[in-house]
Amino acid sequence: MRKILLYVVVVIGFLSLMAVVSACEAEKEQAVVNGESSTADRSKNKGTAEVDEKVKVGFTMDTLVEERWLRDREMFRDAVKALGAEVEILAANGDDILQIAHAESLISQGVDVLVVVPHNAEATATIVKKAHMAGIKVMAYDRLVKNADIDMYVSFDNEKVGELQAAAITQLVPKGRYVYIGGAITDNNAHLFKKGVFNVLQPFIDKGDITVVFDQWTKDWTPANAKENMKAALKANNNQIDAVICANDATAGGVIEALAEQGLAGKIPVSGQDAELAGAQRIVEGTQTMTVYKPLKALTQKAAEIAVMMAKGESVEINRKVNNGKIEVPSVLLLPIAVDKTNIEETIITDGFHSREEVFRNLGE
- Pairwise CA distance, residues 183 & 187, whole Å: 7
Tens of pLDDT along 136-180? 999 999 999 999 999 999 999 999 999 999 999 999 999 999 999
* pLDDT above 80: residue 44: no
Reading phi first (left if > 0) and then psi (alpha if -120 to 50, else beta), residue 94 is in: left
SS3 of 329, please? strand
For residue 8, what pLDDT band results from cuts at 50, 70 and 90?
Answer: very low
Q: Are residues 68 and 173 in the same domain?
A: no
Output the CA–CA distances (angstroms, integers) from residue 300 to 22, 65, 304, 347, in the order listed.
52, 18, 6, 18
In a domain, residue 11? The reply is no
Q: Are residues 272 and 143 in the same domain?
A: no
Q: Are residues 101 and 170 in the same domain?
A: no
Q: Are residues 356 and 314 in the same domain?
A: no
Please enumerate, as own/partner, the contacts of 124-128 that have beta carbons within 8 Å and a separation of 24 or more.
124/96, 124/99, 124/100, 124/148, 126/100, 127/60, 127/99, 127/100, 127/103
**Count of structural domains, the chain:** 2
Q: Are residues 93 and 222 in the same domain?
A: no
Q: Are residues 220 and 289 in the same domain?
A: yes
Tens of pLDDT along 225-278? 999 999 999 999 999 999 999 999 999 999 999 999 999 999 999 999 999 999
For residue 12, what pLDDT band results from cuts at 50, 70 and 90?
Answer: very low
User: Distance between terminal CA atoms of the chain?
Assistant: 112
Q: Are residues 268 and 197 in the same domain?
A: yes
Q: Are residues 139 and 209 in the same domain?
A: no
In a domain, residue 42? The reply is no
Q: Are residues 232 and 245 in the same domain?
A: yes
Reading phi first (left if > 0) and then psi (alpha if -120 to 50, else beta), residue 81 is in: alpha
In a domain, residue 19? The reply is no
CA dihedral of residues 96, 184, 291, 242 (deg, nearest 10): 170
For residue 6, what pLDDT band results from cuts at 50, 70 and 90?
Answer: very low
Output the CA–CA distances (angstroms, integers) from residue 314 to 4, 82, 125, in the order listed.
63, 18, 24
Output the CA–CA distances (angstroms, integers) from residue 332 to 131, 143, 144, 302, in the order listed.
21, 12, 12, 9
- Pairwise CA distance, residues 321 & 303, whole Å: 16
**Residue 247: which residues within 8 A CB-CB, separation 6 or more?**
181, 182, 183, 190, 193, 194, 218, 221, 273
Domain of 118 in residue numbering reads as: 56-150+296-334
In a domain, residue 304? The reply is yes
Q: For 118, which DSSP code? A: -
pLDDT of residue 365: 61
Q: Are residues 274 and 232 in the same domain?
A: yes
Task: Say if residues 254 and 223 touch (Cβ distance below 8 Å).
Answer: yes
**Residue 106: which residues within 8 A CB-CB, separation 6 or more?**
58, 59, 60, 88, 90, 114
Q: Are residues 217 and 348 in the same domain?
A: yes
Q: Are residues 280 and 311 in the same domain?
A: no
